[in-house]
Amino acid sequence: MKRISKKILLAAGFVLMLHPAIAIGLDETGPVQNDASKAVSTDDLNSADSSDVDTREFVLRYQFREGESFRYRSEKLERLNITVGEQSKTDVTRTQQVRQFAVSNLDESGRAELLMQFESVELSRQVNDDAPVVYRSSMNPEEVPRIFAVFAKRLQGKAARFSVVPTGASLRDLGEVIASKDKDSTAAWLVMPLPKKAVTIGEPWKHFSSVKVRIAKDVMREIRMLTTYRLESVDDGIARIKFTTSPAIRLKSTSVQALLIAAVPRGYCLLDIEAGRIIKRVARNNRSVHGVKGPGSLLTYSAEAIEDLLPEDTTVSQR
């Protein structure tokens, strides 16, 4: 019987939610080319009812105002299970957090600097049928469970500070930058890439990123990932944008697939076009990797994360 690796169990655990073990770097945003559209004949076009086609174009941009602040509340539930032979281990993690963002140094181009702080955090982790271990940011240092001690110490560190631009474009795109000085993926999650040009309903755009995974002691491997976004609908000024993420290359190594099991979510977000602000984001994941600990072993991971923009007068209870 092989021992179940703690590294596998932690790869998709609570660390990914607030202080990712993977480093995400934005490096390309652009439209997706649809070659199939070239095969549409003029007869097909003539037979289509143009009145049923929504031809409106939408310019999607983030908007920030000097001195403003806003908050997001998020909840995430993760379940990681590994089965080797007749033995199985399940790790369930629940995360609730409220983050506050403050805007400063806004320039004429719309570029701004965001300062992010955690207003409240609650984590719980349960292994198999053991009692859940709970951490709350309101705890005194002596109350913090040992498994959360490092995380709690990091939480007390300086606030994350990063730059954002109206399109969320990368450094290579006309000098526009979205770069976290603290190498945190918060910026990528808060300000997803938007298309540089106006888009119509159903039109996609893509974004490449890199994910670093530790494949051995002191050995990191960078994996290129592709996220495809699509404008699904616009109702009452709210744009619904779907997204899917997958490796940009085929991965043959089961160990690398296991380490990336939490890095391939799909879901949607709602963008208030006039306000230029994400008001809701939902991401889900349901993946399995066979053979990660030998023949007959199975690693499964499921997760759901929901994040909402809080109204300005919302009071969040501290427990």
Q: What is the distance between the alpha carbons of residues 35 and 40, in angstroms, rounded to a whole number?
A: 10
The domain locations on the chain are: 6-31+56-309
User: Is the pLDDT at 183 greater than 70, yes or no?
Assistant: no
pLDDT value for 156: 80
pLDDT value for 112: 87
pLDDT value for 75: 96
How confident is residue 28, by pLDDT bands cut at 50, 70 and 90? very low
User: Is the pLDDT at 286 greater than 90, yes or no?
Assistant: yes
| Between residues 76 and 169, the one the model is more confident about | 76
pLDDT value for 316: 55
Other beta carbons within 10 Å of 128: 10
Residues paired with 285 in a beta bridge: 303
pLDDT value for 69: 94
The SS3 call for residue 7 is helix
How confident is residue 174, by pLDDT bands cut at 50, 70 and 90? very low
pLDDT value for 314: 58
Question: Which residue is it, tokens 């289509």?
Answer: 48
Distance, CA of 273 to chain centre: 20
Residue-wise pLDDT tens digits, 99-137 = 999 999 999 988 888 888 899 999 999 999 999 999 999
| Between residues 188 and 223, the one the model is more confident about | 223
CA pseudo-torsion sign 280, 58, 237, 315? positive
6-31+56-309 has CATH 2.30.230 classification? yes
Burial-class residue 207 by CB neighbours within 10 Å (0-12, 13-18, 19+). buried
| Residue percentage of the chain with pLDDT more than 70 | 75
Picking from 40-44, 87-91, 123-127, 190-194, which range would have the lowest pLDDT averaged per residue? Answer: 40-44
Q: How does the average pLDDT of the chain come out, rounded?
A: 79
Other beta carbons within 10 Å of 305: 19
| Between residues 18 and 278, the one the model is more confident about | 278
User: Is the pLDDT at 313 greater than 70, yes or no?
Assistant: no
Residue-wise pLDDT tens digits, 205-264 = 998 888 888 888 888 888 999 999 999 999 999 999 999 999 998 888 888 899 889 989
